Amino acid sequence: MNDEGSAPERLRSPPGGEGAPWWLAVLATLAAVFLAVATIGGLAASRAAAELRPRLGGAMTVVVHGKGLESADAAAARAQEVIAAVSGVVGATPLEPDDHDAAIATLIAGRTESGEARLISVDTARSGGPSATALGAKLREARIDSRIDDHRGTGGQLERASLRLIAGAAITLAVALILIVAAAFAAAGAMIRRDHDRFDLMRRLGAREGFSAGVARRRVTLTVFIGAVGGLFVGIIAAVALGGRAATTLAISIEPFDALAAVIWPFVLAGAAALASEVGARGELRRLETRG
């Protein structure tokens, strides 16, 4: 008996015994991290946008802050009187304070605003209504700290943010799948080439192509799945950390369902790796048979 052992021993310890390359696990981990963050962040931000949008009613939204000794409520009451007196305004309705007001104030101002914010929904005449600039001038004359949005800006920001997140998640998925498919294909072929003597022995002993390809497929798939599971946990932690910062300014909060939705990615990546490694292994086995 030589150092490699008998034929039955070789079949029990199939080619590729060292396993798939380590870089495949690293790639799967990174892919899962980005997919988890994109999925969780996208769901949370989309939900936040849906919650903010109903607060942007009327033709304009005025955000009022207290100044000096004047409270936000007192400033909002004065702002309502000033707005109602402007020609072309048909209604100025103060909104009840809400947890999302700070996020709306941040979106309208383009920066994080300090202090409490109060919102006023403004309705204007279909024709001859004042512009946001004209209304802002009246409020500045009354020395009221305010920001005005005609919903083309903030509404557009919400829509663009949602679209960017959806597009980002789709691009991340496409890139991750392409990289995993290419890597799994290459890794399976490399496993066959690395232990071509053993695979050739299996072929000569009557092992079918599917059995031999399955050796590489199982090892590659398991490596990708383990790496992706690790990446999933890292991605969830990263998304929660980023969500904690966003929650203070944009009212974006992570819900348990968001993390559960990301659980699918290790299975998706492993499935893609299984298909690609099967094709790569079969192709290399056929080349081995041709050379043999």
Grade residue 11 by pLDDT with cuts at 50, 70 and 90: very low
Binned at pLDDT 50, 70 and 90, residue 179 comes out as: very high
Question: What average pLDDT does the segment 245-260 reach?
Answer: 67
Compute CA distances 273 → 57, 136, 163, 169, 240, whole Å. Answer: 48, 58, 29, 20, 28
Q: How far is CA 264 from CA 40, 106, 225, 273, in A?
A: 12, 34, 11, 14
CA distance 278 to 184: 9
Write out pLDDT tens, residues 51-84. 777 777 677 888 888 887 888 889 999 999 999 8
| pLDDT band at residue 181 under the 50/70/90 scheme | very high
Averaged pLDDT, 239-258: 67
pLDDT tens, residue by residue, 69-78: 888 889 999 9
What is the chain's mean pLDDT, rounded? 79
- The pLDDT of residue 272 is 95
Spatial distance between the Cα atoms of 96 and 110, rounded to a whole number of angstroms: 23
Q: Give the pLDDT of residue 109.
A: 66
Distance CA 78, CA 145 (A): 11
- Of 62 and 153, the one with more pLDDT: 62
More confident: 158 or 129 = 129
- pLDDT category at 231 given cuts 50, 70, 90 is very high
The pair of three-digit structure tokens given for residue 33, joined into one six-digit string: 């991290």
Residue 162's pLDDT band (cuts 50, 70, 90) = low
CA distance 272 to 187: 13
pLDDT for 62 equals 87
Q: What is the pTM of this model?
A: 0.68
Question: Which two three-digit tokens encode residue 121?
Answer: 């929904």
pLDDT tops 60 at residue 104: yes
User: What pLDDT is stored for residue 287 in this prediction?
Assistant: 80
Q: Following DSSP, what letter does each residue of 189-221 receive, concatenated?
A: HHHHHHTHHHHHHHHHTT--HHHHHHHHHHHHH
